[in-house]
Amino acid sequence: MSAHIHETAVIHPTALIAPTAVVGAHARIGPRCRLDHYAVIGAHTTLGHDNHVFSFAVVGGPAQDRRTQPDESNALICGDNNIFREGATISRGTHHGGGVTRIGDGNLFMAHSHVGHDALLGDGNTLANGVSLAGHVAFGDQVTIGGHAAVHQFVRIGSLAFVAANAMVSRDIPPYCMAAGDRAKLLGLNTTGLKRAGVSEVARSALLDTFRALLRMPRGARRERAHAALEHQTPEVVRLATFILNSERGVASASRRDPASDDGPIH
């Protein structure tokens, strides 16, 4: 039994396509990509180099959206070195959402995780088993989402954020923060993630001060403080303040825990 490859698909000669894998119309499979048995690459899907699609994953399926027809030529564009484990599903874009779902480099999509239409994901993110991202969700880089968490449509999650397992995320999660619960609240800084990323102690201390000043206060008072934080010389603080100022859905509330006591997640 051979692979089912549409005649319009473009496959790099170094790609490994297992028998029973499926590659749709106008798909492009880059160098050294690997498609295992029963892996499905949908139409108008582009994979960069060294991506691995495990069995029964569907990368580039039609958007799960009532306004979008399955045969529309919306796209999924993936970068390099991504891993799509068994049963993961990544939807293409929609005509009303920009037409493209974009995945960066080095992301890990564990078994049965889902990324909805028109989502934008950066680099080095980890979605644990059963994570579900609705349409139009946007991630930064090196975000970690625990198992079976769900993210509401149009929510943004900033770089180096950590969301605990089973969380229900309905508001934006700023960069460098941890969140948990239904509806998810901010617990403090992702201290372990910051250390692993090489963020200096000085920068971590400045972030902690900013967390207390901005996120432990009522939402209505945050914007004025965030504007003031933009003058801070630490790039991480500027990114945190900018994220808050640009939030359209609103940022998740902070819990009453003292973020100074958080050692960050073990993951």
Q: What's the rounded mean pLDDT across residues 113-137?
A: 98
Residues 6+ apart with CB under 8 A from 244: 174, 214, 215, 222, 223, 226, 251
Q: Which fold has domain 4-139?
A: UDP N-Acetylglucosamine Acyltransferase; domain 1 (2.160.10)
Q: What is the mean pLDDT of residues 4-21?
A: 97
Question: SS3 of 202, please?
Answer: helix
168-169 and 185-189 strand pairing:
unpaired
The rounded distance, in Å, linking the Cα atoms of 112 and 122 is 20
**Nearest CA-CA partner of 149 in 188, 194, 114:** 114
Q: What is the mean pLDDT of the segment spanning 144-148?
A: 98
Residue 110 has pLDDT above 60, yes or no: yes
Q: What is the rounded CA–CA span in Å between residue 32 and residue 17?
A: 10
How many CB atoms lie under 10 A from the CB of residue 231? 9
pLDDT at residue 8 in the model: 98
Q: What DSSP string describes 207-255?
A: HHHHHHHHHTS-GGGHHHHHHHHTT-S-HHHHHHHHHHHT-SS-BPPB-
Average pLDDT, the chain: 91
- Residue 96 tokens, joined: 């009303």
Looking at per-residue confidence, does 223 or 195 come out higher? 195
Count of CB atoms situated within 10 Å of the CB of 258: 11
Please check whether residue 35 is in contact with residue 29, taking contact to mean a CB–CB distance below 8 angstroms: yes
The secondary structure of residue 22, as a DSSP letter, is E
Angle between helices 201-215 and 222-229 (to 10 degrees): 150
**Mean pLDDT within 42-54:** 98
Angle between helices 222-229 and 235-245 (to 10 degrees): 150
Mean pLDDT calculated for residue range 1-24: 95
- Partnered with residue 177 across adjacent β-strands are 189
Q: What is the mean pLDDT of residues 192-197?
A: 95
Note if the bond before 204 is cis, omega within 30 degrees: no
Q: Show which residues are catalytic.
A: 117-118, 135
Distances (CA, A) of 103 to 4, 70, 124, 180: 24, 20, 10, 24
pTM exceeds 0.85 for this model: yes
Q: What are the backbone angles phi and psi of residue 23, rounded to the nearest 5°?
A: -125, 125
pLDDT at 266: 31
- Segment 55-94, tens digit of pLDDT: 999 999 999 999 988 888 899 999 999 999 999 999 999 9
**pLDDT(101) > 70:** yes
**Is the domain 194-261 a CATH 1.20.1180 member?**
yes
Greater pLDDT, 1 or 242: 242
Domain ranges of the chain: 4-139, 194-261
Q: What is the pLDDT of residues 154-188, one digit of tens each?
A: 999 999 999 999 999 999 999 999 999 999 999 99
